[in-house]
């Protein structure tokens, strides 16, 4: 439940606004300096004082402003058409001033737009955009050569270099972002795999416990079958019930695990676990003990149970406890709250669990978000529903619904096996 960190102001400014500011600054400056201001001894060949005297020139300049404004506004939604509008507006401004080259400062807006395209679009799209800018510069250079206008040092090679630099910067950002997403996806996949391995080990402990009960009850029944038939019958009924519940849990768990990608299996995360014992597996009966531990850590945990309490399948009981445990741990470590509420409701065909707090957290439960991944994975393996997120009134809420198979369903699955 870590709080999100606000991004810097420069990163929150839309790229279209950067493009518009760069272009408008370069376009307005010569109008103010060479048209509106009083005449000065210095003058500009690119921006003559009478360059905007004609109505056609003013209309073209106004059209250039509109094209660039429209392109900058649509740069995030439709990058390619918006980029074309920015280039068209830049060309229209040079025609309005009767220029045979693009001013370098005004072409900076095209570079900004290209950098953004290279950062968010595919390499093919960004190279096409860069080729368009280079093509416009080539046309200006060839046109000046054909018309015999020699203005000294040609600016097009330098502008072409800025195009290449803008594309390289944007492409580097694109690659860094793709690499970060790949690392996060890989870490999330490893977290899911590790959680499934943990679930499988816990299921192994549960099955070992059930098999131990079956062995003990079967041995007891064998010893008293002739002298105490009633006790032998009771023991065999216990064996039957334990066997069917174990088979039902195995079928639900393994049926879901078979759908998982096993490519990352065998990562060596066993860490030398001890063999399974015959001690009962943990479950919702241990929630009060968990609440006492969290309360001792400084966060008062209140447990409310609703509905008719009844024994649950081992896999459902264990998954519900692990979800409560992870949620309470997150509340203690990350929420900053002084209290936490755990609600456990036994319904007719499902178990509902909610863990809520009033802390400052609105994050993912842990610093990396893998705590929520584990809870969601446990719920999905049992065909349940999982939701987690900030509460409208503040704090964080984890809500889980786990279906409870009826005895008829368990018997049918056992017979199918």
Structure tokens at 248: 């039902």
> Residues near 270 by Cβ (< 8 Å), separated by ≥ 6?
none
Sign, CA torsion 9/15/16/17 = positive
Position 398 scores a pLDDT of 93
pLDDT 10s digits, 128-173? 999 999 999 999 888 888 877 665 678 889 999 999 999 999 999 9
Query: 3-state DSSP helix/strand/coil percent for the chain, to nearest 5?
Result: 60, 10, 30
DSSP per-residue codes, 249-305? HHHHHHHHHTTS--TT---S----PPPP-SSPPP-GGGHHHHHHHHHHTT-EEEEEE
Does the pLDDT at position 106 exceed 90? no
Total residues belonging to the chain: 417
Cα dihedral 156, 159, 165, 166, rounded to 10, equals: -130
Position 30 scores a pLDDT of 82
Q: What angle do CA 263, 267, 273 make, to 5 degrees?
A: 130
Tell the residue number behind the tokens 């036994």, with chain if given: 346
Q: What is the pairing mode between strands 350-357 and 396-403?
A: antiparallel
Residue bearing the bigger pLDDT, 276 or 58:
58
* d(C-alpha 114, C-alpha 170), whole Å: 8
* d(C-alpha 26, C-alpha 112), whole Å: 13
CB atoms inside a 10 Å sphere around CB 111: 23
Does the pLDDT at position 410 exceed 50? no
How many Cα atoms occupy the beta-carbon half-sphere of 360 within 13 Å?
6
Position 67 scores a pLDDT of 94
Distances (CA, A) of 375 to 161, 220, 265, 270, 391: 52, 40, 20, 20, 18
> Residues near 173 by Cβ (< 8 Å), separated by ≥ 6?
115, 118, 119
Q: Mean pLDDT, to the nearest integer, of 165-192?
A: 88
Q: What's the mean per-residue pLDDT of the chain?
A: 78
* d(C-alpha 268, C-alpha 79), whole Å: 46
pLDDT 10s digits, 358-376? 877 544 444 445 578 878 8
* d(C-alpha 402, C-alpha 351), whole Å: 5
> Residues near 311 by Cβ (< 8 Å), separated by ≥ 6?
none
């Amino acid at each position: 439940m870590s709080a999100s960190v606000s991004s810097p102001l420069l990163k929150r400014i839309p790229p279209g606004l950067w493009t518009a500011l760069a272009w408008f600054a370069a376009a307005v400056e010569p109008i103010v300096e060479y048209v509106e201001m009083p005449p000065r001894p210095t003058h500009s060949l690119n921006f003559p004082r009478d360059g905007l005297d004609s109505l056609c020139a003013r209309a073209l300049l106004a059209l250039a402003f509109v094209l660039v404004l429209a392109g900058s506004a649509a740069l995030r939604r439709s990058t390619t058409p918006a980029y074309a509008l920015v280039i068209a507006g830049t060309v229209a401004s040079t025609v309005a001033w009767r220029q045979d080259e693009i001013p370098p400062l005004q072409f900076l807006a095209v570079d900004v737009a290209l950098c953004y395209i290279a950062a968010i679009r595919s390499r093919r799209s960004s190279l096409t955009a860069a080729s368009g800018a280079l093509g416009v510069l080539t046309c200006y250079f060839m046109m000046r050569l054909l018309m015999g206008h020699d203005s000294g040092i040609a600016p097009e090679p330098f502008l072409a270099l800025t195009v290449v630099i803008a594309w390289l910067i944007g492409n580097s950002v694109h690659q860094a972002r793709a690499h970060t997403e790949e690392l996060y996806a890989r870490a999330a996949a490893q977290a899911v795999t590790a959680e499934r391995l943990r679930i499988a080990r816990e299921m192994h402990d549960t099955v070992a416990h059930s098999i131990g009960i079956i062995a003990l009850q079967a041995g007891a029944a064998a010893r008293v079958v002739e002298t105490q038939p009633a006790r032998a019958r009771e023991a065999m009924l216990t064996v039957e019930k334990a066997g069917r519940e174990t088979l039902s849990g195995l079928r639900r768990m393994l049926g879901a695990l078979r759908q998982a990608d096993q490519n990352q299996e065998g990562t060596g995360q066993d860490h030398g676990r001890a063999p399974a014992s015959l001690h009962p597996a943990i479950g919702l009966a241990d929630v009060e003990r968990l609440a006492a531990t969290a309360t001792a850590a400084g966060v008062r945990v209140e447990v409310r149970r609703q509905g008719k309490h009844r024994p649950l399948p081992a896999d459902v009981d264990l998954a519900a406890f692990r979800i409560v445990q992870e949620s309470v741990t997150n509340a203690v470590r990350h929420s900053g709250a002084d209290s936490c509420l755990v609600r456990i409701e036994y319904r007719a065909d499902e178990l509902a669990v909610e863990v809520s707090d009033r802390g400052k957290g609105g994050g993912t439960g842990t610093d990396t978000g893998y705590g929520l991944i584990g809870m969601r994975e446990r719920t999905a393996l049992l065909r349940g529903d999982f939701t987690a997120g900030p509460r409208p009134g503040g704090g964080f809420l984890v809500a889980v619904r786990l279906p409870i198979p009826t005895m008829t369903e368990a018997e049918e699955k056992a017979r199918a096996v």
